[in-house]
């Protein structure tokens, strides 16, 4: 059994009494990603932080890609899915979306990675199963079920990824001030609609923000998106179902 290692006063390592577990590795990796971003995660760096040899991490969690998959699974497990019975399908989608945003909002460094990598795990399968079950019970079938499902997950998780996007790479400490100044100084004749709505959209609209979700959450816009999503799906469902048949 692998154990954590502790440092002796002379700098050499001695095995600790507490054995290392896969959960320990995932917890430590998630904490590192939350603190420094997923690009900072390395097996060697994580091993040093945990006080273990890198081989111990590979034994318990596989390589870096496998570890990140376990980290994503851990985050997915934090999402509280509403019950399938007794919840209207529109309310289920809204509740799932709100909690997914809450969870990924607590792990903003992971949000973009989460949606940019294929997710295949017990947790992702459960989310997929529940979402498909809700939509199927609502009356979506065949290709329409597939399209509705992709609209739900794509809209919700794509939004979350965009809202909690990281700062530009290699951005200096003043890039936000520069961006804000450039936005407010842009020629009115070039972007008249932006300039006339600047107090409304500045730092609250995609492509017009200089702060990410943790600093400038887009709560109202996200709620509006969820309502628009469910209303649009309901309209599509009505269109494919056709008018009710009248008895002669």
Q: Which of 21, 49, 74 is the last residue of a domain?
A: 74
Q: Which of 74, 107, 134 is the last residue of a domain?
A: 74
Q: Where are the alpha helices (DSSP H) in 139-218?
A: 142-163, 175-185, 192-196, 198-201
Residues 161 and 87 in one domain: yes
Do the domain assignments include residue 186? no
Residues 108 and 17 in one domain: no
Residue with the larger pLDDT of the pair 185 and 152? 152
Q: Residue 198 is encoded by which pair of tokens?
A: 């600047």
Do the domain assignments include residue 97? yes
Residues 122 and 14 in one domain: no
User: Is residue 220 scored above 90 in pLDDT?
Assistant: yes
Structural domains in the chain (count): 2
Return the half-sphere exposure (C-beta side, CA atoms, 13 A cut-off) of residue 26. 17
Residue with the larger pLDDT of the pair 113 and 82? 82
User: Is residue 167 scored above 80 in pLDDT?
Assistant: no
Residues 16 and 33 in one domain: yes
DSSP SS3 for 31: helix
Do the domain assignments include residue 182? no
Residues 25 and 127 in one domain: no
Residues 217 and 95 in one domain: yes
Residues 67 and 90 in one domain: no
Do the domain assignments include residue 32? yes
Residues 65 and 126 in one domain: no
Residues 106 and 219 in one domain: yes
CATH number, domain of 44, equals 1.10.10.60
Return the half-sphere exposure (C-beta side, CA atoms, 13 A cut-off) of residue 29. 32
User: Is residue 14 scored above 80 in pLDDT?
Assistant: no
pLDDT of residue 182: 86
Tens digit of pLDDT for each residue in 20-65? 888 999 999 999 998 988 788 899 999 999 999 889 998 998 898 8
Residue with the larger pLDDT of the pair 173 and 180? 180
Name the phi and psi angles at 19, rounded to 5.
-70, 150
Residues 157 and 126 in one domain: yes
Least reliable range by pLDDT among 2-6, 83-87, 131-135: 2-6
Do the domain assignments include residue 188? no
CATH number, domain of 223, equals 1.10.357
Residues 97 and 69 in one domain: no
pTM for the complete prediction? 0.82
Distance between CA atoms of 140 and 135, rounded to whole angstroms? 6
Q: Which of 48, 74, 100 is the last residue of a domain?
A: 74
Do the domain assignments include residue 187? no
| Burial class, 30, CB count within 10 angstroms (exposed 0-12 / middle 13-18 / buried 19+) | buried
Q: Read off the pLDDT band of 176 (50, 70, 90).
A: confident
What mean pLDDT is predicted for residues 81-109? Answer: 94
Q: Which range marks the domain in which residue 30 is found?
A: 3-74
Residues 20 and 136 in one domain: no
Distance between CA atoms of 122 and 73, rounded to whole angstroms? 8
User: Is residue 2 scored above 60 in pLDDT?
Assistant: no
């Amino acid at each position: 059994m692998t154990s954590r290692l502790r440092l002796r006063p002379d700098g050499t390592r001695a095995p600790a009494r507490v054995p290392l577990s896969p959960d320990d590795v995932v917890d430590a990796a998630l904490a590192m990603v939350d603190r420094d971003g997923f690009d900072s995660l390395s097996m060697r760096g994580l091993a040093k932080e945990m006080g273990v040899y890198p081989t111990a991490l590979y034994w318990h969690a596989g390589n870096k890609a496998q570890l990140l998959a376990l980290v994503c699974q851990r985050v997915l497990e934090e999402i509280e899915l509403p019950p399938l019975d007794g919840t209207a399908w529109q309310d289920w989608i809204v509740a799932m979306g709100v909690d997914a945003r809450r969870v990924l909002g607590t792990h903003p460094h992971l949000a973009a990675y989460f949606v940019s990598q294929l997710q295949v795990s017990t947790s992702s399968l459960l989310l997929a199963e529940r979402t498909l079950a809700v939509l199927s019970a609502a009356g979506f079938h065949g290709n329409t079920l597939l399209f509705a499902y992709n609209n739900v997950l794509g809209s919700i998780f794509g939004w979350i990824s965009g809202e909690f996007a990281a700062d530009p790479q290699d951005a200096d400490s003043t890039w936000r001030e520069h961006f804000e100044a450039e936005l407010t100084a842009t020629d009115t004749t070039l972007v008249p609609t932006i300039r006339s709505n600047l107090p409304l959209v500045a730092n609250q609209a995609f492509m017009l923000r200089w702060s990410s979700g943790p600093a400038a959450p887009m709560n109202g816009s996200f709620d509006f998106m969820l309502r628009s999503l469910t209303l649009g799906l309901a309209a599509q469902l009505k269109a494919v179902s056709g008018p009710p048949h009248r008895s002669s």
